[in-house]
Chain A
Amino acid sequence: MQDQEQLHPPAAQPFEGGFSRRAFLRGSGAAAAASALATGQGLAEAQEKTKPKVTSGKGISTIQLTVNGKNYSAQVETRTTLIEVLRYQLKLTGCKPVSNDGVSGASTVWVDGKLVSASTTLALACVKKKIQTVESLGGSKPDPVATAFVHNDAMQCGFCTPGFVVAVRAFLDKNPKATEEQIRAGLNGNICRCGTYANVIQAALEVVKGGK
């Protein structure tokens, strides 16, 4: 436990949330900075300051992550991204690796209540933070946003859909009475190739109407 805390890049900034592409780019910037620190010379300097203990010869440490209210341990390197851990160690595959730069919005998750792209967030930066994925909106009683997506058929191939569901949930949490105009202006962080935008707008409006 001690090791992993010290490996956590000390200069990593809290990630900014939000729903616009710009916010994602800001988020990516923060992650890129963390990445530079973790993999490049920056890390050596940072480690010099905090005098970390060497973990193992292979550079792999065990960390604890809190995801959807449950605690998990994960084996990570400094370069391991959150999406890799979620998908291949915790088998939470709702966040999708559409592009490494995070601009598609398909890997959107919450970290401490703010939206980030799991593709551009290092796993080590999420220790001691609350991670919430789209899977938390499923189960036997799905979130009204998920059911509104189904009812309005706001999906085709479905690969972008979980990221979109998270984005809409987060947007409506902040803007529960959003108008159609606000929805059209505020949900531009996700790309859908099949062209489900028209249905997503209807799904979001249905949730607003239902007051959920």
Chain B
Amino acid sequence: MAEYSWPSQGSTALIGKDHDRTDGIEKATGAAKYAYDQAPEKMLFAKILGCPHAHCRVLKIDTSAAEKVRGVVHVAVMKKWEDDKGNKLVPEVRWQGDHLACVAAESEAAAALGVAAIKVEYEMLDVFVKEEDLEAAKTAERTEEGRADVQLAAEPGEEVDEDEFADQEFSRLFKEAAVVVEGEYGIQPITHMCLEPHGSTLYWEDDKLIVYHSTQNVSGAGGNFAEILGITRGDVEIRCDFVGGGFGSKFAADPWSATAAEISKATGRPVKMMLDRDLELKIAGNRPSGFIKVKLGADQEGVVTVWDSVHWGTGGAKGGGVSKDNFPYVFNPPNRRRKQIGIVTNADPDRAWRAPNHPQACAITQTAYDDIAAKLGIDSYDVFRRNLDSVSPKKAGISMAGTYLEQMEIAAKLIDWKAKWHPHGKGEADGSIVTGLGMAIHTWGGGGHPSKCTVKVHPDGGVETSLGSQDIGTGTRTAIGMVVAETFGLPLSAVKVHIGSSKYPESGPSGGSTTIGGVCESNRRASQDALEKLMALVAKKLKVDAGNLEAKGGRIQEKDNTDNGLSWKDACSLLGMKPLEVNGTYARGKEESPLSSSQVGGVQMAEVAVDRETGVIKMKTFVAVQDMGLVVNPKTAKSQIYGAVIMGIAYALFEERIMDGETGAFLNCELTDYKLPRLGDVGEIVVHLHEPESEYKRGVVGLGEPPVISPGAAISNAVANALGIRVPVLPLTPKRVLDAIEKGGKA
């Protein structure tokens, strides 16, 4: 077996060089087919009835009128009315939009009329959605309090009450601190807002279910369907050549798709079940909110010595919220007390949203760090730099503090920090416009997920690889092709990449920045093993040592006598009649792999202009410096960072879920009202891929999550620098900016 490795940095033919994504023209011209685009013959259109109330019991559902609507073919009630023993159940709905019934019809319009004709009797229950208001949540008995987690530099003596000792220590530390900041910060919930909503187009072939599913989880979603439908996983085939956004919300089958499968079985017809936009926002994924009350102290240099926080927020009906483990984000001051309070609200349970927990933790704690700089009147850059000694993430063999420092220096140059910096609120105003700078730093694990693939080399020279992976926008197909082509010394166009079917070897779901690491692992392994076998045949034919052969420029040849070799095609003809088929397997965590690694760092800096009269914030420049180990395709890697920054600008300045406090209705659940940035709102974005040789040697890490983490804090800090006042809660809408100015920065 070959020793798995990457070519040394600078010696590659394809890896590390810009490549257009291989499926780009299909996407650009509408030829790419998504789950939503599939239209098998005799297909029915299904729509679901979402509950209009945020908290109620469902007493009765009458579908008789719906069944009579012209064009309606089937109506399915989605709640259970009896338990397994035949006892009557009264379903409880705990968030608006929860699925009650599903109508399948000849057209979308008929399905919508059918949904409207369903009659439901409800019994209303108390609603709570005011998650930012901790006192109201306590009064409504909606809180889940955890124990505070305490870290102190000093040890309590024996027989001393630990809580009392902690109280005394924190009080002493705050007295001794040169500067103390007390503040409240927050970030509102947002939705995933996938442009292709959640759903499927599906049909049965005898007892086998074929699902064109909009998913990040081609190999895994079938098991989920099977479980719900009570069939075996082998009888479900998931197909997904393209998926219109997921961001962490598209791993499962989802109840509405499972119901569509049941309707398809009952009617013998294919069914398309895609959520309408309002339901997509109400029930198909959101990110928990986070609010914090914090007191922190630092020395006169701005090095934080003590942190004491209580934070709360919600993951909706399941409670929870942002994990306290990341507080304060990335930094680990010697003395730290943090308490988390979960709040149960009448909102859809959250789903993983790109870099779960991190963007909120960053946005509500690194803003507090920046306020230390503001209070001391010193440069925010210096405060971040001086606190690097306490950063908690670790990279194997590389100093994380060193990584951040290098990245800070690069970012500062790119945004011209030193020339543009002014102390908070002390910049020159141009009329009512003030400008400011802010920064934040982040980390993420990443690495590769478990992945299997089959690489086939045909006797005619054709090469293909198959794996049950998916491309959620990353450029996965292209990266896989590059790795196989690089290994075989072929052009990218010589490799056919098959993904998007659960019939292929199992590969992990696309979550947590693990896809590129995983698929590169399996494909490099399989290709290296295949090449070794092919080289053995070539060596025999040329009567040379296989160890002296290389695959380069479409040939297999002697390294030091390149004239002695065979073209790729001639080499493959030595295989005889049958193709060479090699499986590649990567099992995460089993061993240290030379091909992939985990943990990255990133530094981001923002320059904004704020109009003090209107409260409108405009992005001027945003700089993102990011490491990710070995960069496979810089072009698509940069796109991921541009995209993450723009998603960050979205939650920093524009988007939030707005609910009616009394009824729990999701008020801005249409695109007209759910504000997102447009092309003219993003300013200039500068991306730098940080890839010194030490990074390249770590192998592939993955990039999806990390660059989306810092924008909230970086932009909020820039606004605070411009105004000299903290706007405490994200998104920084004009109203929040004006309110903060009116209050003069006092909470």
Contact = CB atoms under 8 A, between A and B. Distances in A.
Interface centre among A79, A99, A153 (most CB of B within 10 A): A153
B745 interface: no
B645 interface: yes
A185 B650 CA distance: 18
Contacts of A184: 679-680
B30 A157 contact: no
A150 B639 CA distance: 12
Interface stretch (A7-15, A48-56, A189-197): A189-197
B520 to A, nearest CB: 19
22 contacts: A98-B196, A104-B671, A133-B30, A138-B31, A146-B25, A149-B24, A150-B20, A151-B20, A153-B20, A155-B21, A155-B27, A156-B474, A159-B245, A160-B195, A162-B27, A162-B28, A188-B678, A191-B678, A195-B646, A197-B642, A198-B642, A199-B642
B682 A146 contact: no
B243 A198 contact: no
Contacts of A46: none
B117 interface: no
B682 A198 contact: yes
Given A88-B43, A190-B679, 20 more contacts: A77-B109, A80-B107, A100-B276, A103-B671, A135-B29, A139-B29, A142-B29, A150-B21, A153-B20, A153-B475, A156-B472, A157-B244, A157-B246, A190-B678, A191-B671, A191-B678, A192-B646, A192-B679, A193-B647, A195-B644
B640 interface: yes
A93 B640 contact: no
B375 interface: no
Interface string A89-100: 001111111111
Given A133-B30, A150-B20, A157 B639 contact: no
Contacts of B247: 193
Given A100-B277, A134-B30, A193-B195, A150 B25 contact: yes
Nearest to B687: A198
A161 interface: yes
Nearest to A191: B676
- The interface size bin for chain A is 35 or more
A194 B33 CA distance: 18
A96 B244 contact: yes
Interface stretch (B34-42, B293-301, B499-507): B34-42
Contact of A194 (B36, B245, B671): B245
B239 to A, nearest CB: 15
B672 interface: yes
Nearest to B648: A195
A80 B242 contact: no
Contacts of B39: 87-88, 91, 93
Most-contacted residue by chain B among A87, A88, A155 (CB, 10 A) = A155
B744 interface: no
Nearest to B676: A191
Contacts of B670: 99, 101
A154 B644 CA distance: 14
Contacts of B647: 193-195
A156 B679 contact: no
A87 B679 contact: no
Contacts of A151: 20
A152 to B, nearest CB: 9
Interface string B532-548: 00000000000000000
A151 B22 CA distance: 10
A187 B472 CA distance: 25
A80 B107 CA distance: 9
Given A80-B107, A80-B109, A193 B245 contact: yes
A161 B28 contact: yes
A199 B107 CA distance: 37
B737 interface: no
A58 B645 CA distance: 51
B603 interface: no
A165 B28 contact: yes
Contact of B29 (A146, A183, A185, A189): A146
Contacts of A88: 39, 43
A91 B43 CA distance: 13
B473 interface: yes
B107 A94 contact: no
A58 B109 CA distance: 14
B20 to A, nearest CB: 5
A84 B107 contact: yes
A195 B195 contact: no
A200 B670 CA distance: 24
B153 interface: no
B343 interface: no
Contacts of B644: 195
A137 interface: yes
Contacts of A63: none
Contact of B33 (A93, A147, A150, A183): A93
A133 B31 CA distance: 12
Contact of A138 (B30, B70, B679): B30
B692 interface: no
Interface in B611-668: 635-636, 638-640, 642-647, 650
Interface in A63-89: 77, 79-80, 84, 87-88
Contacts of A100: 276-277
Contacts of B21: 150, 153, 155
